[in-house]
Amino acid sequence: MGGSGRSGAKRIRLMAVAEWVVWLVVAGGLLIAELLSLTFVLGLLAGAALLTAGVAVLDVPLAGQIGVFGVGSAVGYVLVRPFERMHQRSPALTTGVGALTGKRAHVTEQITSTAGRVTLGGESWPARAFVPGLTLLVGSTGIVTAVDGAPVIVSPGAP
């Protein structure tokens, strides 16, 4: 019977030491989940769990640890989340041929619905007219309305 009493005492001691370790494991699990989901909220919760692990090292009771976790999560959400949302709303950077749409093109070879050439940003591109039967003359300016493979589709634009 005396041996079981020691075991119980060790178990209680082990649980008191392990609280901060549990919070570290929770923080690590939340960070891994954040890396997989990229929601940013889980990263804020991981930060709150890490803060709570620090509080648990100071032997704050479990109710206080849960309070620190809740307050830390709320403060992180209120302070950081608006910046993350603003970043998500910013327009995506268009690159490659998709960035050509809407650009002015200088006609270097007469453009018909089947052939022609324009200069865009100092580069020569094959081109076709946007409207069948329309002809854009050399020296005129057009607007790229689409990109169809290599040729750009050009409509008449303001000079």
Q: Which residue has the higher pLDDT, 70 or 12?
A: 70
Q: Which residue has the higher pLDDT, 76 or 83?
A: 76
Give pTM, 2 decimals. Answer: 0.50
- For residue 149, give the nearest of 116, 126, 121 by alpha carbon: 126
3-state secondary structure 117-130: EEEECCEEEEEEEC
Average pLDDT, integer, range 47-73: 94
Confidence band of 158 (pLDDT split at 50, 70, 90)? low
Backbone φ and ψ for 106, nearest 5 degrees, come out as -95, 125
Average pLDDT, integer, range 76-97: 79
Average pLDDT, integer, range 81-101: 77
Q: How many other C-beta atoms are found inside a 10 Å radius of the C-beta of residue 145?
A: 16
Region 96-156: CATH code: 2.40.50.140
Task: Determine the pLDDT at residue 1.
Answer: 46
Please answer whether residues 147 and 139 qualify as being in contact, where contact means their C-beta atoms are separated by less than 8 angstroms.
no
- For residue 18, give the nearest of 8, 6, 10, 30 by alpha carbon: 10
- For residue 97, give the nearest of 28, 41, 151 by alpha carbon: 151
Q: Which residues of the chain does CATH 2.40.50.140 include?
A: 96-156
Please answer whether residues 127 and 104 qualify as being in contact, where contact means their C-beta atoms are separated by less than 8 angstroms.
no
Gap between the Cα atoms of 108 and 117, Å rounded: 6
Task: Determine the pLDDT at residue 16.
Answer: 47
Element (H, E) at 97: none
Task: Determine the pLDDT at residue 9.
Answer: 52
